[in-house]
Chain A
């Protein structure tokens, strides 16, 4: 990829991400639906497992990332629902935007929404489960790496499902198995951060970074043909 092409891709990505953030600012879906949903999942986990905080505290890393995973599904569905109405997919195809730029922009938009949700969830597990991390730097790095991977895979599977009538039910079936490695890695890294033994956590964090790069590379290649078929 030449420098000019890369600049064009980044410019298109900024345009698409900016548009998605403006759409969110207008519709307030993250604020009014995604955040309450994520926090509700935390509450339901607390009801289901035990009011005894020790169980919840031990399970915090896994519960946190499960809540993120469920919220990501909603974020992906929202991100591509706005592109599938009133001929917008055709407009995108014909727009002159680089498909790789659209992919990066959509992924960046999803990632920013998720980071807001994760910040709220961190406060939530601290307040509700009594769990506070000792390795804050590892928590931040893990969140960024895992979010990048979730968003990149989400953008790929979001556009794949966009053209299908059964997209709302099919998306979880397709996407969740693919991001299972991210769930495992992020849970392990968070486990280390919450247990004051961050050494192994950084190795898991590195693995998450590798998955994020892999999913982004797949998105660069696969997004265009998927957009054509959607």
Chain B
């Protein structure tokens, strides 16, 4: 079976700067892969390239069978990206935001409602404008959008950031559940202890290139959530 993510000597330029300078990466279906590395190493650019948001200027790159060099836009409906920003409208409520982005992705409102319930956003928070949320609540809302859209590849950039203990446990369980449902997860994190618990393996990103780090502790079937 072809890997879900396959990069060979992939180069991505931000202006003239090679943010990725020859990345080799394979991620197989059903894997949870951790990208680790120092700030500015290229983790975010790699995730954005996988989402078809950054052009691959040289080398080979495919995600879910889509050639990113030829047609990066074709992969976008198939993946879900949670970056540093949440992509939510401040003046809309949590429910309105999640429903808008869910419908935009072609999923049903039932998916949106289920995702809100899973993230604990179906109570009084549902009608609160996003502008009034804490950073952690915004993060939960963005995760609900991702969950509702049910992407085949989850791309998460620091998914534990701004979340409390329960929220971090929930993120871990969402990743495991996504994989159990047939998706694949590629995520970047600086919280190595926690991230290595949930990841099947990790890949070091240093200076725009990748170095495999081998297997790490894996949590297979389930992560307990309070």
Binding site for B on A (CB under 8 A): 12, 15, 19, 22-23, 26-27, 82, 85-88, 90-91, 93-97
Contact = CB atoms under 8 A, between A and B. Distances in A.
Contacts of B100: 15, 19
B89 A88 contact: yes
Contacts of A23: 89, 91-92
Q: Among A19, A90, A91, A93, find the residue whose CB has the most chain B CB atoms closer than 10 A.
A: A91
A85 B84 CA distance: 12
The 4 closest A-B pairs by CB, nearest first: A87-B85, A91-B87, A95-B104, A26-B91
Interface in B94-110: 96, 100-101, 103-106
Given A96-B104, A96-B105, A90 B89 contact: no
A97 B106 CA distance: 9
A86 B96 CA distance: 16
A88 B130 CA distance: 13
Given A95-B101, A96-B105, A19 B89 contact: yes
Interface of B: 48, 51-53, 73, 76-77, 79-81, 83-92, 96, 100-101, 103-106, 129
Contacts of A96: 76-77, 104-106
A12 B86 CA distance: 21
A224 to B, nearest CB: 9
17 contacts: A19-B89, A19-B96, A22-B96, A26-B92, A26-B129, A82-B90, A87-B86, A88-B89, A90-B48, A90-B53, A93-B73, A93-B76, A94-B76, A94-B79, A94-B80, A96-B106, A97-B104
Given A26-B129, A96-B106, A90 B81 contact: yes
A12 B104 contact: yes
A89 to B, nearest CB: 9
A176 B101 CA distance: 33
A25 to B, nearest CB: 9
Contact of A15 (B52, B90, B104): B104
Central interface residue in B52, B81, B87, by most chain A CB within 10 Å: B87
A135 to B, nearest CB: 39
Contacts of B79: 94
Given A88-B87, A88-B88, 20 more contacts: A12-B104, A15-B100, A19-B100, A22-B92, A22-B96, A26-B92, A82-B89, A82-B90, A86-B85, A86-B88, A87-B83, A87-B85, A93-B53, A93-B73, A94-B52, A94-B53, A94-B76, A96-B77, A96-B104, A96-B106
